[in-house]
Structure formats: C-alpha cells, structure tokens
Amino acid sequence: MQFAYRTLVGQPPDTVFPVFGEAAFVESLAPALMGLRVIRIGLALGDEIEVRFEGLGPRGPWVSRIESLERTPDEIWFVDRSIRLPWPFATFRHRHGFVAKGSGTVLVDDVTFTTSQRVLGPFVSAGLRLSFGFRRGRYRARFGGP
C-alpha cells in the first residue's frame, strides 16, 4: 500500500532538514498515546534509525536504514527502509522530501508498506494516514506555514 502527504512550511529546506535528526522532534511527530521513543537517529547515508513504540499501536523496536540521500540546490530527498519492524508490518519504505517553494519548503512524506497479513492492510493504512496527518500540525508548529 502507498500514500503521500505534502505540507508547506515557512522555512527553507536547509533549515528544516537537519531538525529531522533531532530525537525530540522526531518523538513529537507521533501522538503521545503511541509512546514513540527514539533510541538512535542519523541523517547520513547508511545511518540506522531505531525507535520504539511503547503505547497504542505497534509495539516494540522499529529499525530503518538511510538507503539514499540526494541534494540539489532546491531539494533534499532521503529514503529510509525498515530492516526490523513490529507486527503487523512486513515492509516499510519512507521517502522524505524537502522541496524549496518560495521562502518555504514543501515537506513530502511518501510511504509504501506491506503487512504480514493482507487483510490487515486497509486497517493499518487508516492508522498510518491518521498518524501522518497528525505530523502536518507538528511540522507547521515547528517551521511555521499557512
């Protein structure tokens, strides 16, 4: 399954991108009830990101690796692919974009995933969409925007 969100914020990509390497910011992107805790984080090619969910939703460790990182003068893109996932996920790929637009940035969250049991896909997709929708408010709170 796949979905994408685009959110316009009020700061340029070179200001926004590094904040995604801050544990406290990443933890703030999930609703508090999910109990997201960052164990390790990085934004360089090959870095592993480990988080744990200790509340509602999937529980346990989630480990991803930065498998690509591309920069141009107006855009930054990176992809993290999960290498260890909690149930019910089988695969998870998250492509992050930071695209200059005027004096701001369009943040792109492009997610592709599969579940361990096909019947769970629509339910997991609905939960993920809610979670990523929640992020939009956090992005704008941190970086400003419309």
Where does the pLDDT of residue 28 fall: very low under 50, low under 70, confident under 90, or very high at 90 and above? very high
Q: Are 119 and 43 in contact (CB under 8 A)?
A: no
Residue 78 has pLDDT above 80, yes or no: yes
Q: Are 63 and 72 in contact (CB under 8 A)?
A: no
Among residues 87, 86, 108, which one has the least CA distance to residue 97?
108
Q: What is the pLDDT of residue 58?
A: 73
94-132 residue pLDDT tens: 999 999 999 999 999 999 999 999 898 899 899 889 888
Residue 146 has pLDDT above 80, yes or no: no
How many structural domains compose the chain? 1
What CATH code is carried by the domain that includes residue 133?
A: 3.30.530.20
Q: Are 128 and 145 in contact (CB under 8 A)?
A: no
> How far apart are alpha carbons 45 and 43 in whole angstroms?
7
Q: What is the mean pLDDT of the chain?
A: 94
> Lowest mean pLDDT: which of 20-34, 49-63, 87-101?
49-63
Q: What is the pLDDT of residue 76?
A: 98
What SS3 state is found at 57? coil
Domain boundaries, position 12 = 2-143
> How far apart are alpha carbons 14 and 62 in whole angstroms?
27
Pairing of the two strands 89-101 and 104-115: antiparallel
2-20 residue pLDDT tens: 999 999 999 999 999 999 9
